């Protein structure tokens, strides 16, 4: 995962968690629950994307490697 993409996921995830705190401070249970679900989904999507990109990079490295001589 590129640094820019990782930074974007970190900031958005942090802002979602801050939003949960703000919703709780305003006693908005529905807002807090909604932001919690969105936050969990967004963070999970980040992990899935990272795994897919890592697998893609590993496959690319394997296919570009020179065949071993017996």
CA distances from 33 to 23, 40, 43 (A): 9, 11, 15
Token pair 């017996």 is found at 70
Global pTM value: 0.79
Q: How far is CA 68 from the centre of its chain?
A: 37
Q: What is the pLDDT of residues 36-54, one digit of tens each?
A: 999 999 999 999 999 999 9
Q: What is the pLDDT of residues 1-27, one digit of tens each?
A: 889 999 999 999 999 999 999 999 999
Long-range contacts of 32-40 (CB under 8 A, 24+ apart): 39/13
């Amino acid at each position: 995962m590129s640094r820019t993409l990782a930074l974007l996921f970190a900031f958005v995830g942090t802002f979602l968690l801050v939003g949960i705190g703000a919703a709780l401070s305003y006693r908005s249970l529905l807002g807090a629950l909604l932001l919690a679900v969105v936050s969990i989904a967004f963070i999970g999507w980040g992990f899935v994307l990272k795994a897919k990109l890592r697998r893609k990079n590993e496959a690319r490295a394997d296919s570009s490697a020179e065949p071993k001589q017996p």
